[in-house]
Amino acid sequence: MTVRRSCAGAVAIVLSSGLVAVPATAQQPTWSTCGDTVGGRACVPKGLTRREREEAQSLYNAPATHRETGPYLLPRDSVVRGPLAIIGGPVRIAGTIDGPMLVLNGDVEFASTAIVTGDIAVLGGRVTGADSARLGAVRVESDSVRYSLEDGVLHLEAPFDEVWRLIGRGEPTAGIGLRLALTRTYNRVEGLPIEFGPRLRYRTKAGIVAADLFGIFRTGSRLEWNGNNVGHNARAELRFGRNDHFSIGARLFDIVAPVEDWQLSDVEVGLASFIGHSDYRDYFERHGGGGTFSYRDGRAFRVAVELTNEIWRPRGTLSPFTLWKNDEAWRQNPDFDRARYTRTLLHAAYDTRTDPVRPRSGWYLQGDYELGFGEHETYGTEVAAPIASNGRHVEYGRGMLDLRRYTRLSPSVQINTRLIVGGWLHGDALPLQRRVSLSGPGANSGFGFRDRVTTPDGLQCSGTVELSGLPALCDRMVLLSADYRHDIRWIVDLFGGARMIQTDRSGTGGWVLFTDVGRGWLHTPRTRTTAIPEDAPRGLNSLQTSVGAGLELGQGGIYVAKALGAPPSRGVQVFVRLVRRY
């Protein structure tokens, strides 16, 4: 774990999957000035400095910042009190912003009635109307900015012209640099995986060429340089366009992948593993390569197609260090299948939420379809592949759908719902690595992770047979969640104490009542063997329900949940989330 403080006073914790910003305050950015001006106020610079990137990240990630997704319109008589950050465009400001303003990858138009009391940064767009509005200092970077949102936290990627600038028409057209990062989560089969290597960016008239050549070192139980602790993740991509863009890419990889990553975020899993000796995922090794084609409209819609050829191998359980219960044994990682697969993956998403971190209204839809075919070398438990013996050809189809609706009933009350369905669609039985389960705080939260409290078992479909590592065995699953949220007029600032805030827009704290209803079941195609538990549930005959309540502070909160119909001796589940439930 590494703690770092940025120029804007934000504290960043680097652990496992990357950067989690916990800003102390949304301080006023101090954008540098240079070069030409726009309307006598704006600077047209030649690339962002490190300090400016850190200030932009701190402003966006600050708890008091109002985060929006373009297109965005602020009417003439409307007022935003506090910092405003917008991703995408176009953006039109006719009202008042009492604080600084940040826009990423969007054009901004100011009406003559616009008032912005703080400084303005438009990174990846153009500004019009600045000469007739009442504005603070305006900072403009016309080139689009590469960024990522990890669990709602913004990361701006550093342009490599800071490390090595190549000469071309007076402005940076290419760059190369080195990356050293903790990009994956702390876990019981790798320890702390560290990614390192060169990165290349080159801008052409057709688009941007990006290439990464990263090695992966897995610390494991001991710092040893061997084949089991070394991997790689290399990719090349050509992107056409800016906000609306097409991308074509290829990659080679030797990575450790989770079986189910939809329940909890990487940061939550990493912290639970490192601090509490509880790893909420299972893992397997993927070694191969493939190509991708994707399209993104810059705001709401994205689609991607990927074709890969890869080898799957099981990973053994190690004994990485933990702060608590370090002398106890880890839950064994399941003995997964050994196989070689060619996979076609189709991913699509549609997002109209007002804020990806704390949405107040809108829709979110994400769907995945996976077609896999190949040969099994050996089976681990053989439970996941009852249709074949060693070397048999296997072909399967799998899908996942995540649909969310956020409805604002009043300035401080909202009802949110989420439906997740997924699993086997057609063909042979799913490999063990592609099966699903429903236990734990990220799914049916009233049931403990891998804790079978129902008969028959509708959470991981293991029946009364207890397999090594308690793997997920369900062919299909369905989960419906509903939340009733009410904002409160205070939040806890870890570095500044409690303070009063406005709740009509921020929604940074509140209480929530929720329920989760769902189950998993088997739908084994074709023939099966006696390895499938005879008492495992088949068909959607009984749903498992839990209810709970929580207090949310900023992005996450503390929750309690109880499974209905479970034995009273099981009690309630108490858990802490670093991000909202969904």
Exposure class string for 214-249: b at 16+ Cβ within 10 A, else e:
bebbbbbeeeeeeeebebbbbbbbbbebbbebebeb
Q: For residue 54, what is the enclosing H or E element? A: helix 50-61
**Single residue among 88, 120, 141 that ends a domain in this structure:** 141
Coil, strand or helix: which one is 341? Answer: strand
Residue 366 lies in a domain: no
pTM over 0.85: no
Domain residues for 490? 400-582
Residue 170 contacts by C-beta under 8 Å, 6 or more apart in sequence?
none
Residue 226 contacts by C-beta under 8 Å, 6 or more apart in sequence?
none
Q: Which pLDDT score, from 0 to 100, does residue 245 have?
A: 79
- Looking at the structure of the chain, the number of domains it has is 2
Distance CA 102, CA 91 (A): 11
Evaluated on CA atoms 420, 532, 256, 16, the torsion sign reads: positive
For residues 573 and 562, the answer to whether their CB atoms sit within 8 Å is: yes
**Single residue among 106, 124, 141 that ends a domain in this structure:** 141
What type of residue is 45? P
> What pairing do the DSSP bridges indicate for beta strands 509-521 and 476-487?
antiparallel
Q: Is 131 left (phi over 0), alpha (psi -120 to 50) or beta?
A: alpha
Residue 240 lies in a domain: no
For residues 335 and 284, the answer to whether their CB atoms sit within 8 Å is: no
Residue 224 contacts by C-beta under 8 Å, 6 or more apart in sequence?
none
Q: Which residues pair with 284 in a beta bridge?
A: 257, 314
Cβ neighbours of 108 (radius 10 Å): 25
Residue 342 lies in a domain: no
> What pairing do the DSSP bridges indicate for beta strands 301-314 and 338-351?
antiparallel
Tens of pLDDT, residue by residue over 72-96, are 999 998 999 889 999 988 999 999 9
Would you state the structure tokens that stand for residue 137, as one six-digit string?
């200092």
**Single residue among 141, 160, 180 that ends a domain in this structure:** 141
Measure CA 393 to chain center: 34
Cβ neighbours of 4 (radius 10 Å): 12
What are the C-alpha distances in Å from 256 to residues 284, 311, 315, 521? 6, 12, 8, 27
Distance CA 385, CA 371 (A): 16
Q: Which pLDDT score, from 0 to 100, does residue 150 have?
A: 62
**To the nearest whole percent, how much of the chain has pLDDT over 70?**
75
Size of the chain in residues: 582
- Could you read off the pLDDT tens digit of each residue along the chain, which spans 582 residues? 333 333 333 222 222 232 223 333 334 444 443 333 444 344 444 466 767 777 888 888 877 788 888 789 999 989 998 899 999 889 999 999 999 999 998 899 999 999 999 899 998 888 999 888 999 888 888 877 878 776 567 877 644 333 333 323 333 345 667 777 776 789 999 999 999 999 888 877 777 888 999 999 998 867 777 778 899 999 999 988 765 778 999 999 999 999 999 999 898 999 999 999 999 999 999 999 999 999 988 667 899 999 999 999 999 999 899 998 889 999 999 988 889 999 999 999 998 887 777 788 889 999 999 999 998 775 444 444 443 444 678 899 999 999 999 999 988 899 999 999 999 999 998 998 999 999 889 999 999 888 765 556 778 887 666 778 888 989 999 999 999 999 886 544 433 333 333 333 344 578 999 999 998 888 765 444 434 555 566 666 678 899 999 998 877 899 999 998 766 667 899 999 988 898
Residue 68 lies in a domain: yes
DSSP string, 253-282: EEEEEES--SSS-HHHHHHHHHHHS-----
Token pair 């995922």: residue: 281
What are the C-alpha distances in Å from 447 to residues 263, 475, 518, 564? 13, 19, 11, 9
What CATH number is attached to the domain comprising 444?
2.40.160.50
Residue 549 lies in a domain: yes
What are the C-alpha distances in Å from 463 to residues 133, 349, 387, 544? 68, 35, 20, 15
For residues 21 and 276, the answer to whether their CB atoms sit within 8 Å is: no
Exposure class string for 430-455: b at 16+ Cβ within 10 A, else e:
bbbbbbbbbbbbbbbbbbbbbbbbbe
Residue 581 lies in a domain: yes
Q: Which pLDDT score, from 0 to 100, does residue 370 have?
A: 98
DSSP state of 523: -
Would you state the structure tokens that stand for residue 236, as one six-digit string?
């090349």
Residue 248 lies in a domain: no
Residue 246 lies in a domain: no
For residues 80 and 91, the answer to whether their CB atoms sit within 8 Å is: no
